[in-house]
Homo-oligomer: A and B are copies of this chain.
Amino acid sequence: MIPTPQMIPTPEGNGKIAILLSGGMDSATLFFDLLDAGWAVLPIRVNYGQRHSRELDASRQLSEYAAKRFGERVMEPVEIDFSALGRQLLGSSQTDATVPVPHGHYADENMKKTVVPNRNMILLAAATGVASSRETYYLAYGAHAGDHAIYPDCRQEFIDKMAAALLVCDYEPIVLVAPYGGIDKRGILERGFRIGVPYELTWTCYEGGDKACGKCGSCQERLEGFAANGVTDPVPYA
């Protein structure tokens, strides 16, 4: 059973919200969910030394597509370059070229190798700095129920503690908006189909090939989400 999704808030304050737009389907859905609700959205993509640039390309294309549809409410996107940091974060297949990408289901123990140490706190902290320097005091985060088993920094407990820290880190309180904590990829896709998210522009696969591999945990979870909705994934698979 999928818990009831938490609500997308209606615009508050100056109506501006930043989002960590990775290029994956979760943050893409949240991006359009926020635009649909009337927010002005600042898309932030982060180069943290990923093996490939497919995700970053997807993030850029999603911003361009959204700007055509929603006009000025899509703020000028920002790319943060953390590639040097990536080299410091050892032991993860996402940034360390000596660690192979594990195949298999997300729930498997070996998927821990895909964890970039403390990645999400680093991304949230940096995005907050970029957002507040642009007078944007809301920050959206697409963590969802499906990630919880493996990634500590996607769990509701982590989100709640980070939200508390963000309220006191700056002169203006930063409000963390993470409305997908109670739903999984199936539920996220349900929302996305309703509001017309261009999933053909998103990139989920951990590998950086011409086509998605269909084998990594990320691909498997995506494919399960599309199948559960009875929809064919528009992204080509190898």
Contacts and interface: CB of A to CB of B under 8 A. Distances in A.
Nearest to A47: B84
A81 B78 CA distance: 18
B128 A125 contact: no
A168 to B, nearest CB: 5
So how many copies of this chain end up in the complex? Answer: 2
Contacts of A116: 129
A153 B158 CA distance: 19
Interface in A159-202: 161-162, 164-165, 167-171
Nearest to A174: B118
Interface residues on chain A, size class: 35 or more
A71 B31 CA distance: 51
Given A168-B155, A169-B118, A89 B133 contact: yes
A122 interface: yes
B152 A158 contact: no
A130 B86 CA distance: 10
A88 B84 contact: no
A193 B92 CA distance: 42
8 contacts: A82-B84, A89-B133, A90-B134, A121-B169, A122-B125, A158-B168, A161-B167, A165-B165
Interface of A: 78, 80-85, 88-92, 112, 116-122, 124-126, 128-130, 132-134, 152-153, 155, 157-158, 161-162, 164-165, 167-171
